[in-house]
Structure 1
Amino acid sequence: MKQISDRLWISPQIETGAIAALKDKGFAGIVNNRPDGEEPRQPAAATNRLEAEAHGLNYTHIPIVPGQISEDQVRDFQNALNDSDGPVIAHCKTGTRSATLYAIGEVMDGRMSHTEVKELGERLGVDLTGATKWLQSHGYS
């Protein structure tokens, strides 16, 4: 897990058996950014949703196909963070798609400049080139 802000952490795939521990660590919500079936042994979003809800965690599924992020998905991600009563952990295969959604939203809303995206990626150890390209192609450069 890598902390992006006081309210957001990113991680690789969260396994169903690890969800109870997230509640114990103080998380209030989970955002899953993986499409179902991306890998054969990946837990289904519906399975993880049931487990999360059984432990009192909010669960949002915003499946992101690499290279195909929409503005609606960015807004859905922001809403999931804003609607949570506490810290959220967002995950995908490596955490990069989740960090990309966060960075794009921060730039779109003026809380971060497009030049700070690379610094964020370096700090987190994730490649946010995709976020930079998305922002440039949508007029945020």
Structure 2
Amino acid sequence: MADIRNVTDHFAVAPQITEDDIDEIKAAGFKTIIANRPDGEGGVDQPRMGAIRTRAEENGLTFVALPFSGAPTPEIIERMQSILAEAPAPVLAYCRTGTRSVTAWALTHGGQGQADDIVDAAAGAGYDLSGLQHLL
């Protein structure tokens, strides 16, 4: 069962999902899945994006691969912003723990004067992004 953590009405994050989680994700109303975890990061037992993508698309969901390691670069933030603007909502992004996904989401709001709201939304989902407040 996927550990889905709602950040807003239109965006949620989860730790690593599997193809077996897709039915639950669809039933929860999600329209798009963003994969932020590179294949193989967790070793040979890590579920692969290809299988997850296939199952998602078979179920009518949009699947976008945006894998990255470490802190999101400006290019990743820009791409995440573009995906979120264009993808059918609500969106579920996943990585190993959900932290890099929620961080990339938060940084798409940088400079918009919403720092407190973004930090509070992340905290409501169980992620402490207070250290990023100065970037938001």
**Letter of the 2:92 counterpart:** I
Paired residue total:
132
SS at match of 1:31: strand
User: What TM-score, normalized by structure 1, do the two folds share?
Assistant: 0.81
CA contact (8 A) 2:31 2:91 kept: yes
CA contact (8 A) 1:2 1:10 kept: yes
1:22 aligns with 2:25: yes
Q: Considering only aligned residues, what root-mean-square deviation do their CA atoms show, in Å?
A: 2.1
The equivalent residue for 2:53 is 49
The equivalent residue for 2:77 is 74
The equivalent residue for 2:35 is 32
Query: Partners in 1 of 2:21 and 2:74 — Cα distance?
Result: 30
CA contact (8 A) 2:35 2:67 kept: yes
The equivalent residue for 2:101 is 98
- For structure 1, list consecutive stretches of 5 or more residues without a partner in the other structure: none
**Letter of the 1:85 counterpart:** P
How has the CA–CA distance of structure 1 residues 79 and 123 changed in structure 2, closer, same or farther, with 3 Å as cutoff? same
Query: Partners in 2 of 1:111 and 1:13 — Cα distance?
Result: 31
Percentage of matched positions with identical amino acids: 30
